[in-house]
Chains A and B, each alone.
Chain A
Amino acid sequence: MDIDTTVKVSGEAGQGIQTVGQLLGLVCREAGLYVMAISDFESRIRGGSSFFQIRISNQPVRAPHHRVDLLVALTSETLELYRNELSPDGLALIGNDSAPIDSNTQQVLFTALASQAGGRIYANTVAAGACLALLGAPLDLCQTIFSGHFRPRGKAITDNNLNAVLLGYEAVKDIPYSGRFTWPHDGPRGALVDGARAIALGALAGDCRLAAFYPMSPATAIMQHLDGFSDAFPLVVEQAEDEIAAANIAIGASFAGVRSMTATSGGGFCLMTEALGLAGITETPLVIVNAQRPGPATGLPTRTAQADLLFVIHAGQDEFPRFVFAPGSPAEAFEVTVRAFHLAEKYQVPVIILVDQYLADATFIVEESLTAPDHIERFIVGDKDMKDPAGYERFAVTPSGVSPRALPCRGKALVVVTGNEHSRDGHISESISDRISMVDKRHAKLDGMREDICPPRAYHGTAEILLIGWGSTEGAIAESVDRMRADGIDAGCLMFTDLWPFPADAAAEAIGEGRTTLVVEQNRSGQLGKLIREQTGIACSGAILKYDGRPMYPHEIVDGVLPFVR
């Protein structure tokens, strides 16, 4: 690829680093470039150190790069933290007087220039202007994007920002930088979408009408996006008093007949597990998003992990069917969310969508068109579908395990459900035959559910070395495969999105025997590896595991594979 540049903007929380990143992304998108951006922040509102890192290319990019070509450090502390990531011909811009200046470091007085533009608060916009100038972005393009972005905030703020971007742009024009490239004029290749927004859009497309939540990083952004749709669509987004209430509100709404969801992270999911079981035994459709972060307990609130896989598959006492899906990109997160609402109603089961801080917050150019279903199949019956509505039984035993689902107060048919074990009519029962028939009925759904499960996706699937991953690491794993193949290593990968019911036969066939198989996961014990062994009997050769709370980079996977190369 001709263009592959990584820019890192770092500073304290509260300095507007996310805004710089957002604007860089918008300018690149408008020019027709691809971007992939991650954000890293601490659990604080002001101070500390955080960064926004954007990879810019003229080819699709789906993972972050570990080498930084241009570092814009708004504080000297973050210069020290990140300067060792600079590539040999990289450049660091620093605004602080006291910062050391070497051949890779150039000083730009962001704050002083910002004061000229209208106030110190515009230092981030000055930095964005400087950054875009060094990359060779056309000034008029930058001005158009900045003007459009700030217009809703009024003329004064827009003008000050335009002054700031110009001052930043001019300030670096004499600084030599080898990373400057020729910008295309191709127009946007897609939308800039992060995982959280993709899930919210998927929920809207999937006809979600009620979302209840309790704020918890990194899931809150999903609800923030959904809330933005609630004026124009039949959708209620309600902040509950806790995660227990959020899950129960969603179940109550689903019982009364609307598609509903909740979103949380691991700690909140812990609180929801009893309600998960309630959805299980009352056979009430429910979609729960668990945006994972490292734990246990509070763990690392603003960081990423893939350590809840076995937890969500097994969460809740006793046994009941559920789906677990882990999308690998925003485009897939959209599709999976639409599908989750459909399957929750088709089988009257809870569906868990596993994402993580990395995917929830990471921004990609999504080229795929996002499509709302032509119509929503509700799998709901009314009096007109029944011979005898008065004799309706919510938990009638059927070969598929799925009973006709009526809604309360929508006809003569009375709908009775309970979290106690029950008979077909929904009333409490302690009889042996009811217990066995209800457990069997619920489990009978698994046959149908397995037919709706997608097999893992292979990329160079017959290679000598097979990397096996799930969820958000897909981009990093696929890129590591490309890099290894370019170096003559016969590597491929197998990615799982549908994790439960586990596609055991498809997995066994795709993994096969007699080659090196390595699971790549962001947890300490190789949870997918354990699941594969449990479900197929296949033991993988090894594991590349990362659990430091930071995103997986392709080079780390390559380094992890090298010891296995013969």
Chain B
Amino acid sequence: MVCIEDYESTFENKWCPGCGNFGILSALKDALVDLELAPEQLLVVSGIGQAAKTPHFLKCNAFHGLHGRALPLATGAKMANHELTIVVHSGDGDCYGEGGNHFIHAIRRNVDITVLVHNNRVYGLTKGQASPTSDLGMVTPVQHSGTVSAPLNPLSMALVAGAGFVARGFSGHGKHLSGLIRAAVSHRGFSLIDILQPCVSLNRVNTYEWYSKRVVDLSPEGYVPDDLGAAITLSRQGEDSIPLGILYQKEMPTFMDRMGAFDGRPLVAEPYDRQKRQTLLSQIG
């Protein structure tokens, strides 16, 4: 039996009091317990940012890497050992800004990992600059006249790039989010949850109150996430009504399936066959 306490870290949590990240961390723990996944079975990979500190506040295997580079790290780890359960914690700057190219290509590969993007629509670690998902015109200490670039729509982007699991959660709806995380980890293939998360210190626009008035859970409305066109339309819906839930899910062959080499043991568990190598070396012309 796995319990919440198994995941409790003694490391001091350095997020601001009231941060939306706490809701995400707690929903994650609930999901992992529900999945009966023990800490030693989990690898959390992260980049740089407040979200990327998550693995320090959990008890698990962790690789906290470079800004924007969590996805290639996770991809390499999964290739080496496809039995790993890998959850990536990233933020809007980390995943959609610095790591934007990796985001597109991780979707193409369809590596079986789960990506949780803590999307607070502002840069937290560097104190309040605009992020790729900040509203057009958002005023910040270094964008004093307001941002001049339009916000990126990560869900549309993931859907168009061919992702097989695209969802949106809200850190203020923990139970719902926990269910999404469970579904994402269980999904075979690349799964993305863009998690709306208020930044209580640096984003005075997209607050708990602002989100609470706008988010709408898709599932009670009978939405079935099997229509890409409908999912794209939903992902482009205006901000008066923000859909929460799985927008699209389709199982497709993963990177490991397509490679064939992963049919049996993980790469890490294969023995070193000296004789076979030597035979090849002795026969080269």
Contact = CB atoms under 8 A, between A and B. Distances in A.
Interface stretch (B100-108, B191-199, B203-211, B223-231): B100-108
B64 A240 contact: no
Contact of B45 (A205, A252, A410, A420): A252
A99 interface: no
Interface string A224-251: 0000011011111010111011111111
A414 interface: yes
Interface string A256-296: 11101000000000000011001000100000000000000
Contacts of B73: 248-249, 251-252, 255
Interface in B234-285: 259, 261, 267-268, 270, 272-274, 276-278, 280-282, 284-285
Contact of A249 (B60, B79, B282): B79
A201 B78 CA distance: 25
A411 B81 contact: no
Contacts of B84: 256, 408-409
B42 interface: yes
A252 B74 contact: yes
A100 interface: no
B63 A245 contact: no
A248 B72 contact: yes
A425 to B, nearest CB: 9
Contact of A409 (B71, B83, B104, B105): B83
Given A375-B274, A419-B64, A419-B66, A409 B41 contact: yes
B61 A274 contact: no
Interface in A400-440: 407-420, 426-428
Interface string B37-56: 00111110100100001011
Given A241-B105, A412-B40, A252 B280 contact: no
A209 interface: yes
A251 B72 CA distance: 9
Interface string A193-204: 100000001001
B261 A236 contact: yes
B61 A241 contact: no
Contacts of B83: 409
Nearest to A212: B76
A207 interface: yes
Given A209-B80, A209-B267, A278-B65, A249 B281 contact: no
A374 interface: yes
Contact of A229 (B72, B102, B270, B280): B280
B76 A409 contact: no
A501 to B, nearest CB: 26
A414 B64 contact: no
Interface in A339-394: 369-376
B62 A252 contact: no
B188 interface: no
A232 B83 CA distance: 21
A465 interface: no
B59 interface: yes
A245 B102 contact: yes
Contacts of A372: 274, 277-278, 281
Which 10 A-B residue pairs are closest in the complex by CB-CB distance? A252-B76, A248-B72, A408-B61, A256-B80, A249-B76, A418-B64, A234-B270, A253-B76, A252-B73, A241-B105
B69 interface: yes
A210 interface: yes
A191 interface: yes
A253 B76 CA distance: 4
Contacts of A411: 40
A34 B196 CA distance: 68
Interface residues of A, number: 69
Contacts of A234: 261, 267, 270
Nearest to B62: A416
Pick the most buried of B62, B277, B282: most chain A CB atoms within 10 A of its CB.
B277
A192 interface: yes
A280 B69 CA distance: 16
A255 B261 CA distance: 20
A243 to B, nearest CB: 11
Contacts of A252: 45, 63, 72-80
Contacts of B11: 427
A236 B62 contact: no
Interface string B77-102: 11111011100000000000000011
A207 B45 contact: no
B70 to A, nearest CB: 9
B79 A204 contact: no
Given A210-B79, A260-B80, A245 B280 contact: no
A256 B59 contact: no
Contact of A236 (B39, B63, B259): B259
A255 B44 CA distance: 12
A248 B104 CA distance: 16
Contact of B272 (A255, A282, A375, A428): A375
Nearest to A284: B63
A233 B276 contact: yes
A241 B202 CA distance: 33
Contact of B61 (A229, A370, A415): A415
A249 B272 CA distance: 22
A416 B76 CA distance: 16
A275 B53 contact: no
B101 A258 contact: no
Contacts of B53: 428
20 contacts: A201-B281, A204-B281, A205-B281, A232-B280, A233-B277, A235-B261, A241-B105, A245-B105, A248-B76, A249-B73, A252-B79, A256-B81, A257-B80, A274-B66, A275-B66, A409-B41, A409-B42, A417-B64, A420-B64, A428-B56
Contacts of B56: 416, 418, 427-428
B76 to A, nearest CB: 3
Given A191-B285, A255-B80, A278-B66, 12 more contacts: A192-B285, A232-B280, A248-B73, A251-B73, A252-B75, A253-B79, A371-B281, A376-B272, A409-B40, A409-B61, A414-B62, A416-B56
